């Protein structure tokens, strides 16, 4: 490839072949103009040269053969993804800090600020509607000094609101649902932490204490004057549709809608979180474990809503393709939950893709999604990519 100085690049012109930042990463493709912002960014980052086999032109090529993609350069895609991920992380951290304050005040004074919780729930509902995919793909490790109930509450509320959005539940009900999800484990704060943060088998007495937490939570919220739907959702999130749950062994339609939604959202959050007694599971494994209990523990309609929202391979899952290539799930398709969009990272020869194309493998295609990557495979992939 020819070396072209950044100073030679003409704003809003085209080059009739891909332009590379270095030997691995594509900067822009023939159908995309060299925007002024892109050139300024290269200068700001002290890039002196780019590489291409193409020639300058004032118009894009007549046609291009692209796989599913936004048409953006790899550099623009990476920047946008990092910015979106940072916004989602900042929002998650902000809500987590609010919940730390609320739980802390409850432990110290026994008070719950209902007005602030309603405001938080409204804020979360709005954020999930606008930036659902960014929040769902966010991977937030729990801080060593952080109470597990805090990130678990926030994640459960995000999943519950995502399910509610898919089911087209009215906004005023979504606010109450988010409130219930944020507070569904508040009764645990009345239980010694050594019991619910255990890394061993529970004694019969300890098990009895744990099983009591939905009732404790219900009483706390009822006494604080929360709406009945919020209180019932908290009380019933451990009920199973086949009647084998607790505390009242309710079944089927006798379980409230909020109880059914929080049951699924909380279970998925717990499965994908690290606990003292086990490592976190990947999204695909967690979804499949929930599917096994569909119609037994979980309402199938609610479970289906989660699957259509997250897909069988949730956003952020690293996957192996049938040809040996590796990629990451970047978007889900509600119309085809088994066929999410995959950004290709490594080809079958273990070399990075230059342009990281996005594909949507479907049944019968030459290349399909084979399985999620194991943890060692993910670590190896990141090493190759230099992440």
- Per-residue pLDDT of 236-248, as tens digits, reads 999 999 999 999 9
Q: Which residues contact 177 (CB under 8 A, 6 or more apart)?
A: 160, 161, 164, 169, 229, 233, 258, 261, 262
Residue at token pair 């929080």: 262
Token pair recorded at residue 55:
């020639």
Domain end residue (candidates: 31, 65, 99)? 65
DSSP secondary-structure letter at 241? T
CA distance 113 to 62: 61
Mark whether 331 and 300 lie in a shared domain: no
Residue 250 lies in a domain: yes
Positions in the chain short of pLDDT 70: 22-26, 29, 31, 60-78, 141-146, 196-201, 276-277, 387
Domain range for 358: 318-385
Residue 306 and residue 315 in contact, taking contact as beta carbons nearer than 8 Å: no
pLDDT confidence of residue 16: 80
Residue 70 lies in a domain: no
Mark whether 272 and 178 lie in a shared domain: yes
DSSP secondary-structure letter at 32? S
Among 206, 235, 205, which residue's Cα sits nearest to residue 220? Answer: 235
Mark whether 356 and 283 lie in a shared domain: no
Mark whether 81 and 30 lie in a shared domain: no
| Cβ atoms within 10 Å, residue 215 | 15
Residue 39 lies in a domain: yes
Mark whether 229 and 118 lie in a shared domain: yes
Angle (deg, nearest 10), helices 114-136 and 171-183? 100
Q: Exposure of 299 by Cβ count < 10 A (0-12 exposed, 13-18 middle, 19+ buried)?
A: buried
Mark whether 85 and 178 lie in a shared domain: yes
DSSP secondary-structure letter at 140? -
Q: Exposure of 372 by Cβ count < 10 A (0-12 exposed, 13-18 middle, 19+ buried)?
A: buried
Q: Which residues contact 200 (CB under 8 A, 6 or more apart)?
A: 277
pLDDT confidence of residue 13: 87
**Whole-prediction pTM:** 0.77
Greatest pairwise CA separation for the chain in angstroms: 77
Number of domains in the chain: 3
Residue 155 and residue 93 in contact, taking contact as beta carbons nearer than 8 Å: no
Helix/strand/coil for 363: coil
């Amino acid at each position: 490839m020819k070396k072209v100085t950044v100073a030679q690049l003409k704003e809003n012109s085209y080059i009739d072949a891909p332009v590379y930042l270095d030997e691995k990463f594509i900067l822009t493709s023939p159908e995309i103009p060299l925007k002024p912002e892109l050139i300024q960014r290269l200068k700001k980052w002290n890039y002196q040269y780019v590489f291409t086999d193409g020639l300058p032109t004032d118009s894009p090529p007549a046609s291009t053969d692209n796989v599913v993609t936004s048409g953006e350069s790899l550099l623009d895609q990476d920047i946008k993804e990092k910015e979106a991920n940072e916004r989602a992380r900042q929002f998650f951290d902000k809500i987590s800090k609010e919940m730390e304050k609320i739980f802390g005040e409850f432990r110290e004074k026994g008070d719950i600020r209902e007005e602030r919780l309603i405001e938080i729930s409204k804020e979360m509902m709005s954020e999930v509607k606008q930036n659902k995919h960014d929040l769902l793909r966010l991977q937030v490790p729990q801080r060593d000094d952080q109470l597990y109930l805090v990130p678990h509450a926030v994640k459960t509320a995000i999943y519950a609101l995502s399910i509610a959005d898919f089911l087209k539940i009215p906004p005023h009900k979504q606010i109450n649902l988010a409130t219930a999800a944020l507070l569904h484990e508040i009764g645990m704060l009345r239980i010694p932490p050594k019991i619910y943060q255990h890394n061993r088998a529970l004694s019969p007495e300890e098990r009895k204490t744990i099983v009591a937490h939905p009732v404790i939570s219900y009483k706390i919220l009822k006494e604080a004057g929360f709406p009945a739907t919020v209180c019932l959702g908290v009380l019933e999130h451990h009920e199973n549709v086949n009647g084998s749950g607790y505390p009242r062994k309710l079944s089927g339609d006798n379980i409230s809608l909020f109880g059914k939604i929080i049951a699924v959202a909380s279970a998925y959050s717990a499965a994908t979180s690290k606990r003292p007694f086990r490592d976190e599971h990947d999204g695909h494994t967690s979804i499949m474990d929930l599917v096994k209990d569909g119609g037994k523990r979980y309402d199938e309609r609610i479970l289906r809503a989660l699957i259509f929202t997250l897909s069988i391979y949730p956003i952020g899952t690293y996957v192996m393709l049938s040809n040996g290539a590796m990629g990451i799930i970047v978007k889900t398709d509600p119309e085809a939950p088994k066929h999410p969009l995959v950004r290709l990272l490594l080809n079958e020869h273990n070399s990075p893709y230059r342009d990281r194309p996005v594909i949507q493998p479907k049944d019968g295609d030459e290349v399909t999604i084979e399985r999620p990557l194991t943890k060692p495979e993910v670590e190896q992939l990141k090493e190759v990519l230099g992440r």
